[in-house]
């Protein structure tokens, strides 16, 4: 304990490892999270807030499902497709999940190439991520259409508790909105990358702030979060 107090005052607090380092960072001036930019900090805190939104949605859904006196429709039956003469439960959802997880992979690669200032690969990978995302939303639209054709409505369905349709449309709709917003921003940021905005630190149109390749990473944080939320929706809504 006495050794560190004798350390040279020039030592950056961020270099102390472990819990003591965290304590030193929070006790220091200027920044509580050393080496974290404003934008990244803001995205993390926003995602924390958004976590509470999705948690409330999922908890409400679980409350409805556990307290209903009418049987809950069996998800593996409802979300089954007939492919090639075979009846495969949850096949569409499995493909959707695979696509969304894959998009996280391309996003992570885009972040990597962004920091290497490889404009072409970064932009291409971001567009690939956006394409995966758009495919996901498209398949969700297909799933919605199929269920609506089969008679599922927010206020009722042919198989059991009316809250099934209500929760399904609300939760997947809210998540799909997140994915859609992500796709739009992915395309916008990919365009900036392609044009070389971040190489010349060009100012944003509205914000008049300089742009950096870090924006690709911040975009990635949001995208991975949307993915992670889907994993929970998949587990709690489809697999339960």
Partner 1 sequence: MVDIPFDEVAGIPPAEVGEVELYHPHSWWTRYVFSQDAKVIAVQYSITAMSIGMVALVLSWMMRLQLGFPGTFSFIDANQYLQFITMHGMIMVIYLLTALFLGGFGNYLIPLMVGARDMVFPYVNMLSYWVYLLAVLVLVATFFVPGGPTGAGWTLYPPQAILSGTPGQDWGIVLMLASLILFIIGFTMGGLNYVVTVLQARTRGMTLMRMPLTVWGIFTATVMALLAFPALFVASVMLLLDRLLGTSFFMPTLVEMGQLTKYGGGSPILFQHLFWFFGHPEVYIVALPAFGIISDLISVHARKNIFGYRMMVWAIVAIGALSFVVWAHHMYVSGMNPYFGFFFATTTLIIAIPTAIKVYNWVLTLWRGDIHLTVPMLFALAFIITFVNGGLTGLFLGNVVVDVPLSDTMFVVAHFHMVMGIAPIMAVFGGLYHWYPKVTGRMLNEALGRFHFWVTFIGAYAIFFPMHYLGLLGMPRRYHDIGETTFVPASAHDLNAFMSVAALIVGFAQLVFLFNIIWSLFKGKEAGSNPWGAASLEWQTPETPPGHGNWGKDLPIVYRWAYDYSVPGAAGDFVPQNEPPAGLATQGAHP
Check residue 82 for interaction with partner 1 (CB under 8 A).
no
The string of DSSP codes covering 48-112 is HHHHHHHHHHHHHHHHHHHH-SSPPP-HHHHTEEEETTEEEETHHHHHHHHHHHHHHHHHHHHHH
Candidate ranges 44-52, 77-85, 129-137, 227-235; the one touching partner 1 (CB under 8 A) = 44-52
Residue in 92, 161, 186, 218 binding partner 1, rule: CB under 8 A: 161
Are the CB atoms for 226 and 136 separated by under 8 Å? Answer: no
The structure tokens listed for 182 are 């992500």
How many residues of this chain bind partner 1 (CB under 8 A)?
A: 51
Residue 73 near partner 1 by CB under 8 A: no
- CB nearer to partner 1: give 2 or 30: 30
8 A C-beta contact, residue 226 and residue 179 = yes
Burial class (CB in 10 A: 0-12, 13-18, 19+), 21: middle
Residue 239, interface with partner 1 (CB under 8 A)? no
Q: Which CB, 66 or 149, lies closer to partner 1?
A: 66
**Residues binding partner 1 (CB under 8 A):** 9-10, 12-13, 26-34, 36-39, 41-42, 45-46, 48-50, 52-53, 55-57, 60, 63-64, 67-70, 154-155, 161-163, 165-166, 170, 174, 206-210, 212
């Amino acid at each position: 304990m006495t050794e560190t107090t004798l350390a040279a005052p020039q030592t950056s607090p961020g270099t102390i490892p472990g819990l003591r380092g965290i304590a030193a960072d929070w006790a220091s001036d200027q920044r509580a999270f050393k080496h974290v930019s404003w934008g990244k900090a803001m995205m993390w805190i926003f995602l924390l807030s958004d976590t509470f939104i999705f948690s409330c949605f999922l908890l409400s859904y679980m409350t409805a499902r556990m307290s209903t006196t009418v049987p809950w429709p069996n998800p593996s039956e409802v979300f089954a497709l007939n492919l090639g003469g075979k009846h495969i439960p949850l096949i569409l959802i499995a493909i959707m999940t695979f696509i969304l997880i894959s998009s996280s992979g391309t996003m992570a690669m885009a972040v990597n190439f962004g920091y290497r200032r490889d404009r072409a690969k970064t932009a291409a990978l971001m567009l690939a991520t956006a394409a995966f995302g758009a495919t996901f939303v498209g398949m969700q639209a297909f799933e919605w259409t199929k269920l609506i054709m089969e008679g599922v409505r927010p206020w009722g369905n042919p198989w059991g508790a009316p809250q099934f349709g209500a929760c399904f449309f609300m939760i997947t709709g809210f998540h799909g909105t997140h994915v859609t917003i992500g796709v739009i921003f992915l395309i916008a940021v990919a365009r900036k990358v392609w044009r070389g905005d971040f190489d010349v630190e060009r100012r944003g149109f509205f914000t008049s702030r300089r742009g950096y390749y870090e924006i690709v990473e911040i975009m990635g944080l949001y995208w991975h979060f949307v993915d992670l939320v889907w994993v929970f929706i998949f587990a709690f809504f489809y697999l339960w």
